[in-house]
Structures are given as structure tokens and as C-alpha cells.
Amino acid sequence: MYNYIGGKYKTGKWIYSNFPAIKWSRYTEIFGGAMWVYLQNNVNADEIYFNDINPFLVNIWNCMKKDFRDDFLKSLKGIRREELDNKDRFLHYKKLHDGEINNPMDYPNHVFAVLMIYILTHCWSGNITKQGCGNPKSKAVEKWDTFIRRLEDEHFQKKIDRVISLNLDFNTLIDKVDDENGCFYVDPPYWNLEKEYYTQSFPKERHFELSEKLKTCKSFWVLSYYAYDDLEDMYPYKDYYWRTKLVTKTAAHNNKSKEYELIIIPKEKYDNIIKNKLTGNFFDVK
């Protein structure tokens, strides 16, 4: 629905093509972000969960739902065209965002939802730490209009209305929704980019903590990363399928315009599903 750093708008369909083609009891995006893997695919599940530690993103998803959508759209359309792509407004909203991020928020709050959408459409490639508005190359107005069109689209509305939004740490979230017939898509802040993804810290030790937590999950899961030196120690080839796809990055990582998107899948869980369900997707593995 919106741009967000690390979002899977360009790779969401490819990522989901590697999931076993079965019905899940619960499908959960643990680090929800923009939730493009769900939005771009026909996820077959009884329950759909969006989770993110950033309360502003969770608030957006609550405001996009049926009971609050009209008020949200009215507020979005209430901003005059001359106030779009406005540097002063962007900086004002960013200051409010940074001051409120650690405070409790009453959901849903369409005022804060508008604030966050303004920031996301006016920053550089969904990275809220980097301003992108107020210059000749800015696409802020186009992104703003695109979000409104998507929110008015019946196809997206039906998908959004199914989503249950949560604002939990990944440990608490997994304990809450883990299910032997469930499915997790896991897209954590990428290695060495943690501070750009969240105002809250996600230090390197949390990557190792996440790895250990996933090993205890009853649910099937697919994990996204960029490759880095310690990754094979956490997810060795003998226990996990690795698959990569070369993609053009909107927000260049390490000054690279193209980089390999990597997904990691637990072999035993995947093979058991294929064996027992006689369905799914197959791919070359290392």
C-alpha cells in the first residue's frame, strides 16, 4: 500500500512462489513493514496477521479497515494540493513522529495515520531517516495519490479487511500465534541496516535471538535477508534451503544498485509438507 524501507514490492511475488501451495490456519508477517508479500499474492489462510514493532505502521493498518476507512480517506483528501511536497510540513510531521514513537497510541487514530503516510510518501525510498521531498525530482505527490487510489480499490480493501494488526516484539508475537498449521513470513531489519528500519534498536544479537526462536517454531516459515558473513552459521546449508534472486534496489544497499535477495527455508519443515501434502513448489538448492 505504501513505500517502506526493505519493502517487498518488487520481489513479493517471487518470494511467495517459494511457499508450499497449501492452506494455512494462520499466515503472519512478523516484521510487517508494508506487507507486500501478502498484498501481492493469493495467500490461502483462515487468519491473516500483520505485526510490527512500529506503532505508526500498525495504526495505518487499523485505519485502513472498513469501519475507519472513510474517515481516513477524508483526512487524506483534506490536505490541500499545495501542502503536498512541502519541506516544512514534512519536517514538522517527522518531529512529531520522532517524539511520539515510544508513547502509547490509541488505535485507530487517523490523524497519526495521515502523518505517517505523509512521511512515507515524502521520504526517500520509504526510509524515514532520509528526506526526499521539496526538490524537483520528488515523486511525493504521485506516491500520495497512489496510496489513496489503492485504499479506494475494492481488491485491496477486501485484503485489508481480513488483516488482524498487532504491535508486538517478535518473541511475544510468535508465542501468541504459532501453530503447527501456521505460516510465518519473516523479514527482519537487515544486517547493518537496523537503525534505518526502526527508531527502536534492533542490535545484532537480536538476529541470533531470532534464529534460535525460529528453530522452536511449530509453524512453517520463510526468512528474507541479504547475505552476510555470519548468516551461514545461523542457517547452515545442510539444514536450510537458500534461494537468491538478483534484483534492482530502489534504496541502494552498500552503494549497490543491484543485489541478491535471499530467502531461507527450513528443509525439514518444507520437505515434510511436500511429502505429506503432495503439493507445493520445488526449486534448485545449494
Which CATH number covers residue 196? Answer: 3.40.50.150
Cα(8)–Cα(253) distance, integer angstroms? 14
Q: Would you state the pLDDT for residue 103?
A: 64
Whether residue 174 sits in one domain with residue 157: no
Range of the domain at 147: 54-161
The total of structural domains in the chain comes to 2
Q: What is the pLDDT of residue 127?
A: 72
CB 53 within 8 A of CB 167: yes
Q: For residues 126 and 175, state if they share a domain.
A: no
Looking at the structure, tell me whether residues 138 and 65 fall in a common domain: yes
Among 161, 181, 212, residue at a domain's last position: 161
Inter-helix orientation angle 87-100/110-122, to 10°: 120
pLDDT of residue 193: 59
Distance CA 69, CA 161 (A): 10
pLDDT, position 285: 38
- 185 shares a domain with 150: no
Residue 126 is predicted with a pLDDT of 72
282 and 253 both lie in a single domain: yes
Return the pLDDT at 87.
Answer: 85
Characterize 147-156 residue by residue with b for buried, 16 or more Cβ atoms within 10 angstroms of its Cβ, and e for exposed.
Answer: bbebbeeeee
pLDDT less than 70: residues of the chain: 101-105, 125, 129-137, 192-201, 248-257, 277-286
Residue at which a domain ends, from 161, 185, 202: 161
Q: State the pLDDT at residue 133.
A: 66
Residues 4 and 118 in one domain: no
The residue out of 146, 161, 176 marking a domain boundary is 161
Residues 146 and 179 in one domain: no
Q: Give residue 33's pLDDT.
A: 94
Quick one: 80 and 32 in the same domain? no
